[in-house]
């Protein structure tokens, strides 16, 4: 049926978020836990200036940096495995 809504799993944004951003989020949690259990955030410095005045700010900044790095890696994997076009089954009608 041409006007019927597609199932939620077939939306490109939903698929992207499920396959790229969610694993990147989980790995950022793990990486931040390991990184900041070994290094005190107050000892980190960028270009001679302190990274953050509080530990919480350093934890937050570190989490988003890790999430960005893992999202880039997951995004590259997604593009290499799926391509940038439509998914292969997007044009087929489901048989009932």
Within a domain: 63: yes
Within a domain: 88: no
Domain count, the chain: 1
Would you call 34 helix, strand, or coil by DSSP? helix
What residues make up the domain containing 69?
Answer: 14-82
45 strand-pairing partners: 50
Within a domain: 21: yes
Within a domain: 55: yes
Within a domain: 90: no
Within a domain: 94: no
Within a domain: 3: no
pTM of the full predicted structure? 0.68
Within a domain: 38: yes
Segment-wise mean pLDDT, segments of 10 residues, the chain, 96 residues: 60 80 94 91 65 76 93 90 63 52
Rounded Cα distance, 31 and 67, in Å: 9
What pLDDT score was predicted for residue 33? 94
């Amino acid at each position: 049926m041409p006007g019927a809504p597609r199932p939620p799993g077939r939306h490109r944004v939903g698929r992207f978020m499920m396959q790229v951003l969610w694993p990147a989020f989980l790995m950022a949690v793990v990486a931040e836990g390991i990184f900041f259990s070994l290094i005190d955030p107050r000892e980190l410095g960028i270009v001679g200036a302190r990274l953050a005045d509080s530990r919480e700010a350093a934890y937050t900044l570190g989490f988003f940096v890790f999430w960005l790095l893992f999202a880039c890696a997951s995004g590259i994997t997604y593009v290499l495995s799926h391509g940038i076009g439509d998914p292969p089954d997007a044009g087929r009608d489901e048989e009932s």
